Structure 1
């Protein structure tokens, strides 16, 4: 009898899952399309305040709290909660800004003072070097600040890019997100079995391949992140082993008054084994260490809400 009830529950769960997916997908599409009709800054303020207030009620709050307590054992519970509030606010702002990807990036090299984005002179120098040197490059980013905007910035200023992305599980949400991303984000390559081949070809064609590298990857290589072992996706280092080229990190940090600062890192030297080949694990550790440094500077802007350590 118990086995029959269990099977009935599983069948019911399987049957209702597409319905829930359709409802969630419809809601997400409606919200994204509706958001585009409102002022980007006011919308970001609204969504940031909304998620700051209601995000802590979600189960991810416990994950974020545990992650922060382990990463920053010297911080008090009150400091941890303050950081978490900022994490939720940043997530809400990213969601609102996503609907306005074609408007949020407004940097004008001739009149930088007029926009919401500031760029350091060294970053401008590095960007021009990448744009004009005729070489491919690997560019990594993390879920810090607004992680969608660097791809928009690259295309806006003439950098030929191929960007790895992960498709949402809900097909209808995937379609609307692809529509928004397709505006000004270069060549988009969906994660999957064919992605490494497509990205390797992009590098051979002289493109600049970009990807987020700071989430758990079950079959990844071991790295140390905030003193704890974690799994990192080795794709970036494996691509580098096939086609050697410069590696740079990019981040778009959130500033007060709805402003941003875009930064490119200096070239990251890859690790090599005794025979001079690219060391996969060592290179991913070098990349992870750069990201850890970024997160330590702005912990309230990183996505602590996922299980990075398992």
Structure 2
């Protein structure tokens, strides 16, 4: 199996990564052999049992303390436990996502007309979302709106683990490209030719731009806004919520209002500030469904 990162050590390449990949594949096929509700419930139990004991939980707690200074330590601890529950469920559900039928009792779809409006407008378009609910459910967006799409994702450093997600995303209608210069070139050409893209835009980008998020500047990828202004692409927010167990709601929101001025840098900052505000609103409504483990802020 090819390795995209030439800087990894021999220990990682020949021992650590394959061992991690072996365990990841074992869990994948175990969860795949179970009904989705059972896999989700087992994932939740594992998440609640192991997650709070991991050192990365300290980062989640620190992020939560600064995002919600009004909440008590007990309230934050409940959110952390529920976050690990959601993450565990999401992992258990991964092998089953491509089998979910939109519009069934498993996946409620709201505001579909907002997504379909991009289909026949004769322009390229962009859908964006965050690591919230089970974000892998957003791989169904292209099938739901009936469009060929390109999705940009951050590939795991471990190529053995990456192969699992590629298998799980077999229901995606279109092409998935990893973040990086090659992926950016592909996406640019795709949008230039009238294509539609889907992006997760809530992660830190070290060489991005500083944009407010929960009252603090967070380094944010500007590509969504840059493509919007360059190719006149509508921006449609898409949110996935976990309702109960392995049941979800996907909401297509109305297109964002974009106002262009003579100051391109200001316009990019304005758009991404609005994008972050939309995602912050989702997270405040259901804080346990966001991935607080991200190193989203500089401190």
Question: Normalization by structure 1: what TM-score?
Answer: 0.88
Q: Work out the CA distance in 1 between the residues paired with 2:258 and 2:161.
A: 37
Q: Is the 8 A contact 1:161 1:207 kept in 2?
A: yes
Confirm or deny: 8 A CA contact 1:145 1:301 kept in the other structure. yes
Tell me if 1:16 matches 2:6: no
The alignment status of 1:58 with 2:48, answered yes or no, reads: no
Residue 304 of structure 1: aligned partner: 292
Which shifted more, 294-303 or 46-55? 46-55
**RMSD value, Cα:** 1.9
Spell out the pairing of 1:25-174 with structure 2 (5 A cutoff). Answer: 25-103=21-99, 105-108=100-103, 114-120=104-110, 123-174=111-162
**Greater Cα shift, 16-25 or 66-75:** 16-25
Q: Confirm or deny: 8 A CA contact 1:271 1:278 kept in the other structure.
A: no
- Please state if 1:222 is matched with 2:174: no
Question: Is the Cα contact below 8 Å between 2:151 and 2:199 reproduced in 1?
Answer: yes
* Higher mean C-alpha displacement, 40-49 vs 189-198: 189-198
Inter-partner Cα distance in structure 2 for 1:65 and 1:142: 19
How many residues matched? 290
The unaligned stretches of length 5 or more in structure 2 are 1-7
Helix, strand or coil at the partner of 1:188: strand
Q: Of 235, 240, 244, which residue of structure 1 is paired with 2:232?
A: 244
Larger Cα Rg: Structure 1 or Structure 2? Answer: 1
**Higher deviation after alignment, 151-160 or 216-225:** 151-160
User: Which runs of 5 or more residues in structure 1 are unaligned?
Assistant: 1-12, 109-113
Contact residue 222 and residue 272 of structure 2 kept, 8 A = yes
Q: Which sits farther off after the overlay, 18-27 or 256-265?
A: 256-265
The answer to whether the 8 A contact 2:79-2:287 is kept is yes
Partner of 2:5: none
Distance of 2:198 and 2:10 partners within structure 1? 38
| SS of 2:206 mapped into structure 1 | coil
Q: TM-score, structure 2 length as denominator?
A: 0.91
Using CA pairs below 8 Å that are at least 6 residues apart, which structure has the higher relative contact order? 2
The one-character-per-residue Cα deviations of 1:210-266 (angstroms, maximum 9, x if unpaired) are: 111111110010101111111001111121232111001111100024321111121
Distance in structure 2 (CA, Å) of the matches to 1:189 and 1:259: 28
